[in-house]
Chain A
Amino acid sequence: MNADKVLDAKGLACPMPIVKTRKVMKEMDSGEVLEILATDKGAKADLTAWAKSGGHELLDSQENGDVFSFWIKKG
């Protein structure tokens, strides 16, 4: 999936993946897609809930070995 920006949050523990995602997202325009790479196991549930509460859309997620990828469209 194409992304306008990629955030590497691998190796970061909660809450940092969301803190960084939020920061990058603030600088993006509505409709743009951010790809996030993370290894924290809690990231999936938290990013899903965060995107929902912030009005963003989680387009897709994938798991490759230890690394999770998420694509979130800014709302």
Chain B
Amino acid sequence: MTVKAMKASEIAKKVINNEPLFILDVRNGDAFADWKIEGGNIQYLNTPYFDLLDGVEELVSELPTDRDILVVCAKEGSSVMVAEMLSEEGVDAAYLEGGMKAWSEHLEPVKVGELQGGGELYQFVRLGKGCLSYMAISDGEAAVIDATRMAHIFLDFAQEKGAAITHVFDTHLHADHISGGRAIAEATGASYYLPPKDAEEVAFEYEALENGLQVTIGKSKIEIEAFYSPGHTIGSTSFIVDHKYLMTGDILFIDSIGRPDLAGLADDWVGDLRESLYTRYKDLANELVVLPAHFMIIEELNEDGSVSKKLGDLFDENHGLNIADEQEFRDMVTKNLPPQPNAYQDIRKMNMGQIAPDEEVQREMEIGPNRCAVR
């Protein structure tokens, strides 16, 4: 009997629209506890596939009849098997095509705003891992910021929009995901910019992303201005786009702030982080729309699936921006930190061009949730 496959893109729509879904996750308990498909209206049951080999009869009574059932596993195989077993018991269940790997790689492009002169700004929401990338398009030219590993998605999107990618930026050397920046630059001939202080050990040529750098995209001159804001890494740099948007990289998120320890120097960088957040950002216009490089929890999504908020609102609402006592701040961002992201040291090496494992290994390196923030 054949069962229905559900694509990661269909699930993304359900998450964004807050539609009801029941997920039967058949990975082992540790994998489920570490990382799962998050959504505001999702119910879960975790039963490993190897506990279901004798049959699913006992499971059937635990499944709802009033919402879609999706069986999820790491790569797909076990979820197909379990969905087929359920189907034989008369339960209509779909499986996630490509498993959690496909979920981790899905990007949902959401338009976050208009730029002057008819330009557009898109946010690419990686729901499965909490990564946010950006593309500013103006007059047949495009800039890409903090691209994820799936370079082809950005290349295809620019092509659909009839835009040539001319500039590729990474706000910092990423430790939680593999950057697609270099691959996009190589495929398009665009310049690839990295902050030099994060790039001292990189094994490839790059353009220096320095404080005050200004580039223009398209004839209508969408300005992208670089703004040095260290703390998550020593090179971390923000962007002000079109005098309206503030891309904060991994320094400031909607409901949390960046962690300073992923390059091993939490105690040294905590002062920089505080200065970036409490002085440099504080001096900027409250009207700027903050566009971070990550989200941590599904509640940070706006109704259209985008992740953004005005800087002034964040100064009112974000706990990490409202810790008056310096020692308390220092303790919060250096003690009791969440676990570091999966394979983060290898991911940094990969992003420095020091190692080049095959695609399957790269996928494995990125498994799991994003953990760049402290709340």
When A15-B50, A19-B53, A22-B50 are in contact, do A49 and B75 touch as well, CB less than 8 Å? no
Asked whether A49 lies within 8 Å of B77 as measured between CB atoms, the reply is no
- In the complex, whether B51 has a CB less than 8 A from a CB of chain A is yes
B364 to A, closest residue via Cβ = A41
Chain A, 1-40, contact with B by CB distance < 8 Å: what is the 0/1 string?
Answer: 0000000000001111011001000000000000000000
With A14-B74, A14-B75, A42-B75 as given contacts, are A53 and B51 in contact (CB-CB < 8 Å)? Answer: yes
Among B25-33, B56-64, B103-111, B129-137, the stretch in contact with A: B25-33
Contact with A along B227-256 (1 / 0, CB 8 A): 000000000000000000000000000000
A residues less than 8 Å from B30 (CB atoms): 45, 49
CB-CB < 8 A to A46: which residues of B? Answer: 28, 48, 50
Task: Evaluate contact between B75 and A53: CB separation under 8 angstroms.
Answer: no
Question: In the complex, are the beta carbons of B78 and A14 less than 8 A apart?
Answer: yes
Known pairs A14-B75, A45-B31; A22 contacts B53 (CB<8 A): yes
Check B50 against A49 for contact (C-beta < 8 Å): yes
* 8 Å CB interface, B60-103 against A: 73-75, 77-78, 81
Interface CB pairs A-B, < 8 A, 19: A13-B75, A14-B78, A15-B81, A16-B77, A18-B49, A22-B50, A22-B53, A45-B28, A45-B30, A45-B31, A46-B28, A46-B50, A49-B29, A49-B30, A49-B50, A50-B28, A50-B48, A50-B50, A53-B50
The answer to whether B48 touches A53, judged by C-beta atoms less than 8 angstroms apart, is: yes
| B interface, over-half SS | helix
A49 CA to B49 CA in the complex, in Å? Answer: 11
Given contacts A49-B28, A50-B50, 8 further A-B contacts (CB under 8 A): A13-B75, A14-B75, A15-B81, A22-B53, A41-B364, A46-B28, A46-B50, A53-B48
The smallest beta-carbon distance between A15 and chain B, in angstroms, is 4
Residues of chain B within 8 A of A53, CB atoms compared: 48, 50-51
Chain A, residue nearest B361 (CB): A41
- Please state if A14 and B73 are interface contacts (CB–CB under 8 Å): yes
* Complex interface: chain B residues within 8 A of A42 (CB): 74-75
Residue of A nearest to B363 (CB): A41
Closest 4 A/B residue pairs (Cβ): A49-B28, A15-B78, A50-B50, A14-B77
Q: Which residues of B contact A49 (CB under 8 A)?
A: 28-30, 48, 50
Taking the closest CB of chain A, its distance from the CB of B249, in whole angstroms, is: 31
Give CA–CA (A16, B81) in the complex, Å.
10
* Cα of A38 to Cα of B49 in the assembled complex, Å: 18
Interfacial chain B residues near A19, Cβ < 8 Å: 53
Interface centre among A14, A18, A41, A46 (most CB of B within 10 A): A14
Q: How far is the CB of A13 from chain B (nearest CB, A)?
A: 5
A13–B53 CB distance below 8 A: no
Q: Report chain B residues within 8 Å CB of A22.
A: 50, 53
Residue of B nearest to A50 (CB): B50
A15 touches B77 (CB 8 A): yes
B78 surroundings in chain A (CB, below 8 A): 14-15
